[in-house]
Amino acid sequence: MKFEPVQKKLPPLSPVIRASECGCPPVKNITPADIADELKNETWFAGLIDTPAGPVPQVSTEIKLSERIGHIRARTSSFRMKFSLKPGLYAVGSPVSSSDIFVTANYRLSFDHLRKALEGMNAWILVLDTAGINVWCAAGKGTFGTDELIRRIKLTDIKKYVEHRKLILPQLGAPGINAAEVRRNTGFRLSYGPVRADDIKKYIEKGYTADEEMRLVKFTMKDRAVLIPMEINMIKEKLIYFILAAFLYSALQPEGIIFKDAVTSGYTLITAGIISVAAGAVLTPLLLPFIPFRSFAVKGGITGAVALLIIEHCTGAFSSVNLYFYSAVIILFTLISSYIALQFTGATTYTSLSGVKKEIKYSLPVYIAGFFVSTILLVISKIYEWGYL
Amino acid sequence: MKYFRASDTFQFNAEKCTGCGRCVEVCPHNVFKIENRKAAPVNSDRCMECGACAENCEFGALIVKRGVGCAAAVITGLLRGTEPTCDCSGPSGKCC
């Protein structure tokens, strides 16, 4: 497909150009004092501290209950899109001109992990504008990037606050940052700290070096478990259409749509749907390393098929309808579980783009074929049910 | 946990390498080791193509065709006929 540029009608020429027309927001020098004024109601705001270069907002290193609730909301809902803070320079404790500068994203979970890890220290935090996205995702897109870092160093005038020229970045910010370019442009040398903010104190103790353990990204069962609510949240929106379709299918009679008996038989399809979601979005992520094969589509397919067959074995719910229905359910919902598991690639810490492309190349035709076959089987099942077969 | 080998998108030119160790520092999957004063991609099958090493290599010794391994992004890209995109930075989009 080729995209044509949209021809926009230009407004009549006028000597006065308003900021909204020139396409850029009005340039405003954001001073720490301005920020502080806005921060009065922020839960982490601990007051303003005076430094020779001017006042800087100080952040608390304690995570309050309301903030913990915010963390849970960010993990489970679209609230995470709003869970951000203003970019700029902040202080932990009472930093002086020789104190370390830690760089992070303006997503609250990133910021909160960092400030908690800096408890009892005197340090600076430089928050970049990543549009409220976490460090690693933003680095992948370049918003936690070289340009933004250079811009933020200049906007905050950080050179006035410190005498050294060293920034400590989270290691996972590295995909977006060209350290050499930052040094050429600003004079700041970059050090990449540990992957997890929790290791910062150990990193400093070891003379500002991250050992192999600190540099390695893991993907523990706990790491995977916290991602599950968001996986389900994304499916939730589509579930209502599926339930409607399931009832509609069950209500189809030669005389028309009759909902009288649909509720009981519709539940069989809905049960299969719920099993496939549980298999693809919960079991597959949790048991990830224990399910055979590297492909997520295959992993999800295996989990889905096994879960469906166990339920069938215990209840006979699918085969009791008829053999066509049974086959259709197994094919369709195994593939749905597989597809859901494939979506989990976006949340993992180790999948590559080339690998995902490879998976999609092989699985997409299977999904399409399977969808057609199971649709035909469901139609045959219906005709059989009506007694025409 | 291992995913598919990324060898076709990952190139390392040992001649340009000075052994500075930056790639070892930034790689989240421990792909590199310094051997005989040069980097060696000893675990290249663990590469997730994040591009951190290439972006931070001052000497151009590394080339990675980088990207985010996200199925939703690839499918969105297929549907729109563009490169993989997940609309992370958009105001309404879901994130990777």
How does A90-100 read in b/e, with b if 16+ C-beta sit within 10 Å? Answer: bbbbebeeebb
Chain A neighbors of B75, CB-CB under 8 A:
360
Mutation site, A353, A358, A364, interface B, largest B CB count within 10 A:
A353
Q: What is the CATH number of domain A32-217?
A: 3.40.50.11600
Confidence (pLDDT) at A33:
65
Q: pLDDT by residue (tens digit) across A341-352? A: 999 999 999 999
Q: Does A315 touch chain B (CB under 8 A)?
A: no
Q: Which residues of A touch B91 (CB under 8 A)?
A: 81
Q: Is residue B88 part of a domain?
A: no
Asked if B51 contacts A354 with a C-beta cutoff of 8 angstroms, the reply is no
Question: Phi/psi at B55 (nearest 5 deg)?
Answer: -65, -35
- pLDDT, tens digit, 9 for 90 and up, residues B54-82: 999 999 999 998 888 999 999 988 888 88
**Chain B residue with minimum CA distance to A234:** B94
Q: Residue A10's pLDDT is what?
A: 47
Residues 32-61 of B with CB under 8 A from A: 46-52, 55-56, 58
Q: What is the mean pLDDT of chain A?
A: 90
pLDDT of residue A4: 47
* Euclidean distance between CA atoms B71 and A354, whole angstroms: 11
Strands, DSSP E only, in chain A?
Answer: 45-51, 54-59, 88-92, 101-105, 123-128, 166-169, 189-192, 252-253, 256-257
**Which is it for strands A88-92 and A54-59: parallel, antiparallel or unpaired?**
parallel
Assign B96 a pLDDT band (cuts: 50, 70, 90). Answer: very low
CA-based nearest residue in chain B for residue A131: B89
Tell which residue, B68, B31, B9, has the closest CA to residue A348.
B68
**Which of A257-271, A309-323, A356-370 has the least mean pLDDT?**
A257-271
Buried b (16+ CB within 10 A) or exposed e, A305-321: bebbeebbeeeebbeeb
Q: How many domains does chain B have?
A: 1
What's the pLDDT score for residue B5? Answer: 75
B84 touches chain A (CB under 8 A): yes
Taking contacts as CB-CB distances below 8 angstroms, the residues of chain A near B71 are 296, 342-343, 345-346, 356, 359-360
Does A30 contact chain B (CB < 8 Å)? Answer: no
Cα–Cα distance measured from residue A225 to residue B50, given in angstroms and rounded to the nearest whole number: 23
Of the given ranges (A107-116, A192-201, A213-222, A260-269), which has the lowest mean pLDDT?
A: A260-269
pLDDT of residue B84: 82
Tell me the CATH number at B13: 3.30.70.20
Lowest mean pLDDT among A152-166, A231-245, A283-297, A354-368: A231-245
Residues of chain A with CATH 3.40.50.11600: 32-217
Strand partners, A199: none
Whether the CB of A365 is below 8 Å from some CB of chain B: the reply is no
Q: Provide the residue range defining the domain that includes B44.
A: 7-80
Residue A164 tokens read as 């050294």
Q: Does residue B92 form part of some domain?
A: no
